[in-house]
Every structure is written in C-alpha cells, then in structure tokens.
Amino acid sequence: MTASPSFLKTLSGRVSELSPVAALDVGSARVLALVGARMPTRDLALRGIGAQSTRRGEDLDVDPEAAYRFARIALDRAERMAGLSVPAAVGVLAAPGVESVRMRAHVAPVRGVVGEQDVRRVIAAVTSKAETADHVVLHVAPLGYALDDGALIDDPRGRAAARLSLEACVVVAPRDAAEDVAACADMAGVALSDLVAAPYMAGLAVLTEDDRREGAIALDIGATTTGVAAFVDDGLVHCATLPIGGDLITDTLARRLGTSFAAAERLKLTVPVYGAPNAEQVCVPRFGPDGRLGETRLARGVLLDGVDPAVIEILKSVAVSLAGAKLPAIAAEWPIVITGGGAELAGLAQRAGELLKADVRIGRPLGFPELDAGAASGSLAAAAGALRWKHGPASESRVARPIGPSPAPVAPSPWTPPRAAARAWDWLKANF
C-alpha cells in the first residue's frame, strides 16, 4: 500500500511528529512485523508489534503463495497498534544458506590520496566480487583497509597510496530466498527498503556495546534455523544461518513421548527438564490406544531423554560453524548470548555452557523497554535489531553502509524492489 501524503495530518498530538521505521521478519513458524518511530528527540521508540502464526495444524510447511497474506495481517496489526501507516520496511532474512566469507578487493585512489569516494569504490568492488548468479550480497563488514602492501588499518582516508585494499566479512544469501522475501513484501503492499541477515540483526539487538567491542557471539534459535553471529571491535566477523532449530527439539520430544507436535511444544515451554529431579513425576499428554490424546504421568527424566539429544545436535552444529569461521584463539573466551524462540527452553543457558564450554546467557532485545518483560521477547530479537540497524549511528551500521555519517547504502542491492514499491519508498524519503 502507498500511504497518503496527508496521512500524518490526520493524526493528533505527538504521533503527528513521528517518522515510522518498520521491520518484516518472515519466518517458518510465524511472520512478525515491528513498527518503530523516530521521535522528535531522534530516539527510536517501539510503537507496534504484529505477529501471525504460519502453523497449520501439524503442517510445518508454509505455502509460499500465502506468505504475503500472513505478512499483511502482521503488518496491519502492527500499524493499528502504532497508529502509523508504513510504506516501507526492512526485510529480515533467516533462510538457510546465509553465510559470511572473508574477501579482499583493491582499487587505485583517484587522486593518489584516499578519499571518501575511494572508500566507497573499494567497498563496491568487494560487493561486486562476492555476487554470483546464485547469491546476493546482504552486508559488507570492513575488517580493515591496507595502503599499498601495508598492514590493515581502520581508516585510510587522507593518506597517500597507489593502491587501496579492503579486507571484509561479506554476508551472502541465496538469491531465490532474497527474492522470495522481496516478493512477499511487495504483495503485502509494503516496499522493501533493505534486506538484512537475521543473525547479524539478532546480535545487534541482544549484545551490549561492550560485548561487540570485546568479542561475543549471538545465537538466534528459531523454529527451523539457528543464526550464528560473532562480533569483535564493534564489527561483524562471522555470520551463518544453520538449517536446524527448535522444531527438532519439539519433534524429538513428541516421538519420545508418543504425543502430538503441538502438545510437545507446550511441554517444552512449560515443564523444565534441566536442573530438576529426573525421578519426579509430571503429567504429560500421550496418544492412547484409540488414537486420542490422554494424560499420563511420567518421570521428568523421560522428557529429558526427548529434549537433550536435540539440544546437543543443535549446539554441535553451532560449534562446527564457529570452528570453520577461523576466529582468533581468544574467541574461545567470548561470551555467548542465546535468543530467539528457542531460548525459552528452561535451563538452556546452563546446558549450552556445559556443551560449548563458554559463559552463556539468555538475551532479549536491548533498548526497547516494551520488550524487557517476558521470555518470548527473544523471538523478536532479529526484527528489533533491524529497527536499530536502520535507525542507528554509523558505528552500528558498518555493514552495507559507507564509512561516515551518511546512512545510505554504498551500492545498489543485487535485487531491485518492484516499481510500485520503489515509488512508495521514494515518497517516504521525500516526505520525512
């Protein structure tokens, strides 16, 4: 939908002075929309939350052609809560295959002294080098610049050189997955202003500035995927989306108990299995001889036997991803923050700490008081991080943006939003 240029005039009080920013997170279990507003003070406030489950009974697959309807419902709910109309949103991509690669590119400074234009050119060169027929570039996170054959430095501007090099952590995603999110947003009537990687956004949401500066890892455990993002020196150094998530725990528990997926999901979230006596009897639903769900009593250890193998498998996948990232040796001491819907499993932080041999805690989105209460706020982390990324200063936006104060992308995205969406985004930029 394209908002009317006069719609702000119809709102009263403080709302009339707000500028909306939105995030659309299309997941396998639900579609989530968040609407924030840039306040007159330039702070970011969360104004609306909309969610629509994509589950249909026991079916875990979502009809791609119906995804836009779920997105429209979520957006409508968020807009009504916010009292704001949203012409454009940041798309959050959590599809398997999102991964980071380390790349280097070179350019010759135009005037022999490195300027802002040369920095943008070398970032664009890395972007172009990373693009393929099957993958699009979501982010280019500078790890350092080199003048001629010198060592890496943070800022090359104003220095003389015959060659400027950039070494970067480049996040790529499957092109078809990126196009699916863009098409979903367009059919739902909202322009896609940016497309960002869910693991990176979740890390921005739940890690403190000290975490990102000193070194930390964020795990975003969703229904069918787990995002991994590592930060140090306030920059992204590793990003991946693994094809394994909390549904594995639910499915393993359901088979172990002989119950439905929905019943196992409720048990997973309401009955602690870690840190409780294994012999203690608990009530669980199980299929009876007639095929109906009935209630029986089982030792809590039976639930643990259904949950722990899946938790181990998920965390082993995380360990493999981190081992392949070639992080510095000191990364073994970095804290790990778990978020996402999977973080709701009671006792997960302690178990993950034992398996990964790290300091592990559960994280929820920072900077949004509305999300401080309730464990479920972890499922909003990636979308909340996308709002923060879109609104935030350059220090939080090193990826896919130029070095300096301007928030504009350094190069066009490999995919282009449809014309109607582009016109809506142009109108937003002109009127806010």
Q: Partners of 164 in the beta sheet?
A: 107, 147
Token digits of residue 318: 């995380």
Nearest-10 Cα torsion for 120, 126, 128, 132: -150
Cα 381 off chain centre by: 7
Type of residue at 246? G
pLDDT of 264 reads 93
For residues 415 and 127, is the Cβ–Cβ distance under 8 A?
no
Domains of the chain (ranges; CATH) run 99-172 (3.30.1490.110)
Enumerate residues 6+ apart whose C-beta is below 8 A from 333.
Answer: 215, 358
- Give the pair of three-digit tokens for residue 221: 């455990």
Assess contact for 179 and 146: CB atoms under 8 A.
no
- Closest Cα to residue 87, out of 11, 22, 32? 22
CA distances from 164 to 156, 160, 194, 276 (A): 8, 9, 28, 58
Q: Please report which residue ranges of 64-167 form alpha helices under DSSP H.
A: 67-82, 116-130
Around Cβ 94, how many Cβ atoms within 10 Å?
28
Tokens of 111: 């005037």
Q: Phi, psi at residue 416, to the nearest 5°?
A: -120, 130
Q: pTM to 2 decimals?
A: 0.84
Which tokens belong to 41? 């003070």
Joined tokens for residue 114: 């490195």
Give the residue from 311, 330, 313, 323 showing the smallest Cα distance to 228: 323
Radius of gyration in angstroms for the set of CA atoms belonging to the chain, rounded to a whole number: 23
Digitized pLDDT (tens) for each residue of the chain, 432 residues in all: 333 332 222 222 334 345 788 999 988 788 999 999 887 766 888 999 999 987 644 333 446 567 888 999 999 999 999 999 999 999 999 999 999 999 999 999 988 999 999 999 999 999 999 999 999 999 999 999 999 989 999 999 999 999 999 999 999 999 999 998 998 899 899 999 899 999 999 999 999 999 999 999 999 999 999 999 999 999 999 999 999 999 999 999 999 999 999 999 999 989 989 988 889 999 999 998 888 888 899 999 999 999 999 999 999 999 999 999 989 999 999 999 999 999 999 899 999 999 999 999 999 999 888 776 555 688 999 999 999 998 875 433 334 332 222 233 333 333 333 333 344 334 333 433
